[in-house]
Structure 1
Amino acid sequence: MLKRLNEIGSRISGQTADLAGAPLSILLVAMFCAGWFLKAGAAGENTLTLILSVASITLTQMVLNGQRRSEKALHLKMDELVIAMDGARNEVAGIESKSIEHLEALRHNSGDSA
């Protein structure tokens, strides 16, 4: 149940982030802000600031969630290629979750001094 809820949330988050980044959405936000200032004047500035702050934090988190998903997918694809490639060291598959010390040990074991 929790896994299904997470999948639904991720899908909604990704679609919302894609929609919010579209040029038309940005134009609509700019028009909304201009309309708000024309109607409410300086008195509505604090409310508008609060609304935009909450919206920007929420959208930032949605975009970061999408980037994490993309990064995980990319690492999985790269791991698959490392494992499938003749002569590649299979122990480097999945190293993105290893400690710095483990990465340095792998670098040292490869004979790479860089």
Structure 2
Amino acid sequence: MIATYTGTTLDCADHTALAGFYGQVLGWDIVHSDEGSTYLASSTGARLGFQKVENFVAPAWPDGKVPQQSHLDLEVTDLDEAEKKLVELGATKAEHQPGGDYWRVFLDPAGHPFCIALPMG
């Protein structure tokens, strides 16, 4: 095992509004919020994130004209070691890395983005 699944992050135009909606729907609390993202967590530790995207276009499910917009967030204890193992398995480190020292973005072998991150808090 390389990582532990922690949650999914949804792209949206207004991350705080969408987090407020799901927070009420699920009864989950906000555990992190900044100018570009907000994360909710359940009492069991499951997380749901919302990421602000400029020029967001909502998915047109199910016809697929605009694909669903989400990615997996995976928690690791060592970013460098996890990166090495993921690349060995066929992942590609994305060119754009907005996470600084906290998270890294990769593409799976089919091209889907996912992030690895250190534990929050």
Greater gyration radius: 1
Shared fold per TM-score greater than 0.5: no
* Greater fraction of residues in helix: 1
Tell me the TM-score range normalised by the shorter chain.
under 0.3
* Greater fraction of residues in strand: 2
